[in-house]
Chains A and B, each alone.
Chain A
Amino acid sequence: MIVTALVLAPILIGLALYALPKAAAGAGRWIGVVVAALAFIAIAADAGAPDASVPWLARPFVANFHFGFGPISYWIVLLLAAITFSALLVAKLPRANAFAAQMLILQGAMSGVFLAKDLLPFALFWDLMLIPVFLMLLGWGAPARTARSHGTAAWRYLIYNVAGGLALLLATAAFGIVHGTTDVIGTPALPQSVAGEVWGSWIFAGFALAFLIKTPVWPFHTWMPDTYAESPPPVVAAVSAIQSKAGLYGFIVIGVPFLTDQMHAAAPVMIVLGLIALVYGALVALTQNDAKRIVAYSSLSHLGLILVAIFSFNPIALAGAVVYIVAHGLSSASTFLTLGFIEEREETRDLTRLGGLGTKNPRLAGAMLLSALAALGLPGLAGFAGELLILTGVFGAGLWWAALIALVPIVLAAAYMLRLFQSMMNGPAVADLPERRDLSWIEGIALAPLIAGFVLIGINPHPLVGLLANGANVVAHLR
């Protein structure tokens, strides 16, 4: 019941916001904030909610609208509700009702992806979650530099991700034909049929393409910097924190149990791709002057590390991957939202034009510093817990060279995140920047749950991992 409501209620309420009268222009945003807050409370209060399932297809294979909490998806959906809450709380955009509506539809669709226990609804919501992002990029994206370039980022986002979504759909259809059912997520692994061995590689290829594009991993990342740079802050917070995790989540809950052999066969390639993303992202982040692009490339780098962790097939690395998925979600959302505050005040996010904001806006600088430290993996914050577990696990799996290479970008992360912070907050104040107000209390409330999240997880990551060890069949397939 609650699980179904988590998926459907935001979408239906979002659609209903379009029917609000023009006079109630601000109401939509507050309705959205309340919906997200209620979702958060509901998830936190009812972790043991039973699955909900409605039959969909009986032929040519069994597929159900089957939704439920999983050991990983529980935390991601909780995070999603928190981020939607924060993002809508500080969203200052024209046509606020329509924007809140799209954000709620996005929340519902992404909840659908992570809560789906059946591959077919998983694929359905996978495609569905692209549409609100596309529409928000069109309607509220950065103004076009030229008339021709209007909507380029939206376009690129859509084409890349639909390509992945279609590959996923074909792979899901083939999976259903081979195994007779797609209602498999969270169940024990299927016995591989003969057809499964023949088709397995193709099915894996379809899933892997979708997951790599979505994450994104080099060389499928070229949609990502534009999308992140041109999206309004609430959208980029939701996309970078939650949507980008869908691919990694897919590798863990679909790839590891059901395509085990193909995953092992692909591991060397995937680890190399992950390492390339890791190093490449870090190096590019060092050279950027656009604050949002720095964080975008740092995401590329960090998510590459998670890919390496998953394909090391080590339980500790996997636990680290789960911690890091949540940690990165928290830190990237708070970083992008804080960058949004700065851009809104100074009307630029070019590092060369910013400086000395720290003395004028100390609270803003504090929020930025915490987010940056979480992103670079300072011990005591969530990112460090994830990185440590991943590196230990990867080393333990005998991939010492991968662990060694992975160390370099982790050090570089300190360099680019501190450069980001210093260029904006430290140094002499730039003369042509007028006085702006400091972080308002409402912006503080928006950031508080995220910051509290990465501090608490940094101190005690055990709940994240504990649920995995107790309820998951995932670890059983690792060795």
Chain B
Amino acid sequence: MSPTSVDFPAPVDFLTVLPAAIVALGALVGLFFDLLVPKATRRTLAVLVAAISLAGAGIVLAQQYGHDVVAFDGAFIQGGFSVAFSEIIVVATLATLGYGVGVGRDDQVAGSTALLLWSASGAMLMAGAANLMTIFLGLELLSLALYCLCAMSPRATARESALKYLILSSMASGVLLYGMALLFGASGSVSLAAIATARPTFMLELGAGLFLIGLAFKLGLVPFHVWMPDVFEGAPLAVTAFMSIVTKAGALAVLCRFAYGALPHDLSNAILVPVWVVAALSMLVGNLGALAQTDMKRLLAYSGIAQVGYIVIAFAGQTSLGVRYAIFYLAAYTFMNLGAFAVVALLARDADAVVGVNRFAGLAYRRPWLAAAMTFFVLGLAGLPPTVGFTGKLLILASSVSAGYAWLAGVLILGTLISIYVYFKIVRAMFARVDDAHVIDEHPAVLLPWVTVAICAVAVFVLGLVPLAPSNVLPLVR
């Protein structure tokens, strides 16, 4: 082998990032066509190009499943784990497109759709990232696009939301980067595999701690969650729905790979127990916070904080079952949450309208199918049958108990009990008898969010009976 061939990655390496590349290039193609077509077709074309590139990425991903490839000298690993996360990201982005045919005005749609795709490709990079540089690259690609997306609304709260997100998220990135620098200093390498075999020192511990704090912020775990409801409330609905899944999927993939593969064995307990405590707090505080909310976006933001807690505790004990069920629950949460957001989108007058819980009052008597769909998604979020939320929660409970973390399972039960108040507040509003005087007139139904609602409802039911979870997930770091 000649010395020059070592410096250049093999073509097969590029295939591993092909899905992310397709999504990112789809954004460019969309922007290019936007210059050529008349104004009336811009919106449709932008969304169509985005949907085609996402579908293409989804198909390529499906074919990569089952083949573990370590690419770019260990910087990127494409295998069952990253494929599963990427597929979730692709599905969530597609569903987001279905909410309102693009975000923003006609002349903004191509740009906002491109940003959405770049953000998704950043998250897909995070799913396969196996060294600190790739992680940061993916994270920043994800976040930078989102700062702009949050501002894409004429309302003043959107700009406030974007600015808040920019400042706080940049600070978190700084903390994360500082942690990365310390990890590099302690181990002499940016590779997660090398960090795992490094001599455990205080510097390494501190670096891992800062790294995890940065990640906890991106995930919105308590006590780093306060930005999330404000940002979710201000952002356009489709962007909120996108953030609720895609940012979390990317950060969860990194957290999982770091917890499973990048910590020296003697240190992993000391470093990770605080993470489990933070996850336990999230389950309780997220649901308690959601109790008082009257705005649906804020309510779903708080509920998302708790739901991420449920997923993170599956990693406790670092078992193979834990990863599989975390991915399964993330997929479950994707469909339940996007379904609920789609119902909110159907109730909203336009993409920027505020939807309060009171908009659901008497919905069961006005629009029974919509109420039935919302009830179904809400049952899922609350972990009640006959939904995937029930099966997903059961599997997480089982993996926590078998990994010896029964106390986390107990906290999960407690958090779920609190969440019953939150979610059934919506059910009660829909089914309780109300005076017709309070009923708000509906605008005529649009088709596209209904497609999302129907697909999510079917998925929420079927996945509950057929718990598919990727099997070849470990080892996460090589």
| Pairwise interchain contact B402-A124, C-beta atoms closer than 8 A | no
CB of A159, distance to nearest CB on chain B (Å) = 6
| Pairwise interchain contact A138-B432, C-beta atoms closer than 8 A | yes
The A-contacting residues of B in range 391-445, CB under 8 angstroms, are 393-395, 397-399, 401-402, 406, 409-410, 413, 416-417, 420-421, 424, 427-428, 431-433
| Pairwise interchain contact A56-B402, C-beta atoms closer than 8 A | no
CA distance A127 to B390 in the complex (A): 10
Q: At the interface, yes or no: A382 with Cβ under 8 Å from chain B?
A: no
| Pairwise interchain contact B398-A60, C-beta atoms closer than 8 A | yes
The residues of A that contact B385 with a CB separation of less than 8 Å are 124-125, 127-128
| Pairwise interchain contact B417-A173, C-beta atoms closer than 8 A | no
CB of B341, distance to nearest CB on chain A (Å) = 22
Q: At the interface, yes or no: A177 with Cβ under 8 Å from chain B?
A: yes
Interface stretch, picked from A44-52, A162-170, A215-223, is A162-170
| Pairwise interchain contact A169-B386, C-beta atoms closer than 8 A | no
| Pairwise interchain contact A135-B431, C-beta atoms closer than 8 A | yes
With A166-B416, A173-B401, A177-B401 as contacts: A18 and B372 at CB distance below 8 Å: yes
With A18-B372, A60-B321, A139-B433 as contacts: A162 and B398 at CB distance below 8 Å: no
| Pairwise interchain contact B417-A163, C-beta atoms closer than 8 A | yes
The residues of B that contact A18 with a CB separation of less than 8 Å are 368, 372
CB of B285, distance to nearest CB on chain A (Å) = 19
CA distance A214 to B395 in the complex (A): 24
With A59-B321, A128-B386 as contacts: A120 and B394 at CB distance below 8 Å: yes
CA distance A130 to B427 in the complex (A): 13
The residues of B that contact A72 with a CB separation of less than 8 Å are none
CB of B371, distance to nearest CB on chain A (Å) = 10
The B-contacting residues of A in range 137-161, CB under 8 angstroms, are 138-139, 150-151, 154-155, 158-159
| Pairwise interchain contact B428-A177, C-beta atoms closer than 8 A | no
| Pairwise interchain contact A138-B420, C-beta atoms closer than 8 A | no
With A18-B368, A131-B379, A166-B416 as contacts: A174 and B431 at CB distance below 8 Å: no
With A60-B321, A154-B428 as contacts: A174 and B401 at CB distance below 8 Å: yes
| Pairwise interchain contact B428-A159, C-beta atoms closer than 8 A | no
Q: At the interface, yes or no: B467 with Cβ under 8 Å from chain A?
A: yes
CA distance A266 to B467 in the complex (A): 36
The residues of A that contact B402 with a CB separation of less than 8 Å are 60, 177
Q: At the interface, yes or no: A234 with Cβ under 8 Å from chain B?
A: no
**Closest B residue to A203 using CB positions:** B401
The residues of B that contact A162 with a CB separation of less than 8 Å are 384, 417, 420
CB of A465, distance to nearest CB on chain B (Å) = 33
| Pairwise interchain contact A169-B420, C-beta atoms closer than 8 A | no
Q: At the interface, yes or no: B48 with Cβ under 8 Å from chain A?
A: no
Q: At the interface, yes or no: A30 with Cβ under 8 Å from chain B?
A: no
Contact with B along A162-186 (1 / 0, CB 8 A): 1101110110111011000000000
Q: At the interface, yes or no: B458 with Cβ under 8 Å from chain A?
A: no
The residues of A that contact B455 with a CB separation of less than 8 Å are none
**Closest A residue to B319 using CB positions:** A60
Q: At the interface, yes or no: B133 with Cβ under 8 Å from chain A?
A: no
The residues of A that contact B10 with a CB separation of less than 8 Å are none
The residues of B that contact A177 with a CB separation of less than 8 Å are 398, 401-402
Q: At the interface, yes or no: A202 with Cβ under 8 Å from chain B?
A: yes
The residues of B that contact A125 with a CB separation of less than 8 Å are 385
| Pairwise interchain contact B428-A128, C-beta atoms closer than 8 A | no
CB of B155, distance to nearest CB on chain A (Å) = 33
CB of B202, distance to nearest CB on chain A (Å) = 37
| Pairwise interchain contact B432-A176, C-beta atoms closer than 8 A | no
With A60-B399, A134-B424, A162-B384 as contacts: A124 and B417 at CB distance below 8 Å: no
CA distance A177 to B321 in the complex (A): 12
**Closest B residue to A195 using CB positions:** B402
Query: Out of A60, A131, A134, A163, which one reaches B395, CB within 8 Å?
Result: A60
Interface centre among B379, B383, B390, B394 (most CB of A within 10 A): B394
CA distance A154 to B427 in the complex (A): 11
Contact with A along B444-478 (1 / 0, CB 8 A): 00000000000000000000010100000000000
CB of A150, distance to nearest CB on chain B (Å) = 6
The residues of B that contact A150 with a CB separation of less than 8 Å are 432
Q: At the interface, yes or no: A61 with Cβ under 8 Å from chain B?
A: yes
The residues of A that contact B399 with a CB separation of less than 8 Å are 60
CA distance A139 to B424 in the complex (A): 14
Q: At the interface, yes or no: A445 with Cβ under 8 Å from chain B?
A: no
| Pairwise interchain contact B465-A56, C-beta atoms closer than 8 A | yes
| Pairwise interchain contact A158-B420, C-beta atoms closer than 8 A | yes
| Pairwise interchain contact B398-A166, C-beta atoms closer than 8 A | no
CB of A102, distance to nearest CB on chain B (Å) = 10
CA distance A165 to B416 in the complex (A): 11
| Pairwise interchain contact A61-B384, C-beta atoms closer than 8 A | no
CA distance A265 to B271 in the complex (A): 40
Q: At the interface, yes or no: A476 with Cβ under 8 Å from chain B?
A: no
Query: Out of A151, A163, A174, A202, which one reaches B428, CB within 8 Å?
Result: A151
| Pairwise interchain contact B394-A169, C-beta atoms closer than 8 A | yes
| Pairwise interchain contact A151-B413, C-beta atoms closer than 8 A | no
| Pairwise interchain contact B386-A124, C-beta atoms closer than 8 A | yes
The B-contacting residues of A in range 90-128, CB under 8 angstroms, are 120, 123-125, 127-128
The residues of B that contact A452 with a CB separation of less than 8 Å are none
Query: Out of A134, A158, A173, which one reaches B397, CB within 8 Å?
Result: A173
Q: At the interface, yes or no: A430 with Cβ under 8 Å from chain B?
A: no
Q: At the interface, yes or no: A57 with Cβ under 8 Å from chain B?
A: yes
**Closest B residue to A177 using CB positions:** B402
CB of B268, distance to nearest CB on chain A (Å) = 22
| Pairwise interchain contact A57-B467, C-beta atoms closer than 8 A | yes
CA distance A85 to B148 in the complex (A): 60
CA distance A444 to B368 in the complex (A): 35
CB of A320, distance to nearest CB on chain B (Å) = 33
| Pairwise interchain contact B384-A131, C-beta atoms closer than 8 A | yes
CA distance A474 to B379 in the complex (A): 35
Contact with B along A50-80 (1 / 0, CB 8 A): 0000001101110000000000000000000
The residues of A that contact B368 with a CB separation of less than 8 Å are 18
| Pairwise interchain contact A176-B384, C-beta atoms closer than 8 A | no
CB of B380, distance to nearest CB on chain A (Å) = 12
The residues of B that contact A169 with a CB separation of less than 8 Å are 390, 393-394, 397, 413
Interface centre among B372, B385, B394, B402 (most CB of A within 10 A): B385
| Pairwise interchain contact A138-B428, C-beta atoms closer than 8 A | yes
CB of B374, distance to nearest CB on chain A (Å) = 13
The residues of A that contact B386 with a CB separation of less than 8 Å are 124, 128
The residues of B that contact A139 with a CB separation of less than 8 Å are 364, 431-433
CB of B378, distance to nearest CB on chain A (Å) = 11
**Closest A residue to B420 using CB positions:** A162
With A173-B394, A174-B406 as contacts: A166 and B431 at CB distance below 8 Å: no
CA distance A131 to B385 in the complex (A): 9
CA distance A176 to B399 in the complex (A): 11
The residues of B that contact A123 with a CB separation of less than 8 Å are 394
CA distance A412 to B433 in the complex (A): 40
The residues of A that contact B394 with a CB separation of less than 8 Å are 120, 123, 169, 172-173
CA distance A123 to B410 in the complex (A): 17
Please name 20 further chain A to chain B contacts, defined as beta carbons within 8 Å, in addition to the given A57-B467, A134-B424, A169-B413, sorted by A numbering: A56-B465, A57-B395, A124-B386, A128-B385, A134-B427, A138-B431, A138-B432, A139-B432, A139-B433, A150-B432, A155-B428, A159-B420, A163-B417, A166-B416, A166-B417, A169-B390, A169-B393, A170-B413, A174-B397, A202-B406
User: Residues on B close to A: CB < 8 A?
Assistant: 321, 364, 368, 372, 379, 383-386, 390, 393-395, 397-399, 401-402, 406, 409-410, 413, 416-417, 420-421, 424, 427-428, 431-433, 465, 467
* 7 tightest Cβ-Cβ pairs between the two chains A and B: A173-B397, A173-B398, A124-B385, A177-B402, A138-B431, A166-B413, A128-B385
Report 18 cross-chain contacts, Cβ distance below 8 Å, ordered by A residue. A18-B372, A56-B465, A57-B467, A59-B321, A134-B424, A138-B432, A139-B364, A139-B431, A155-B424, A158-B424, A159-B421, A166-B383, A166-B417, A169-B390, A169-B393, A169-B397, A170-B397, A176-B398
User: Residues on A close to B: CB < 8 A?
Assistant: 18, 56-57, 59-61, 120, 123-125, 127-128, 130-131, 134-135, 138-139, 150-151, 154-155, 158-159, 162-163, 165-167, 169-170, 172-174, 176-177, 202
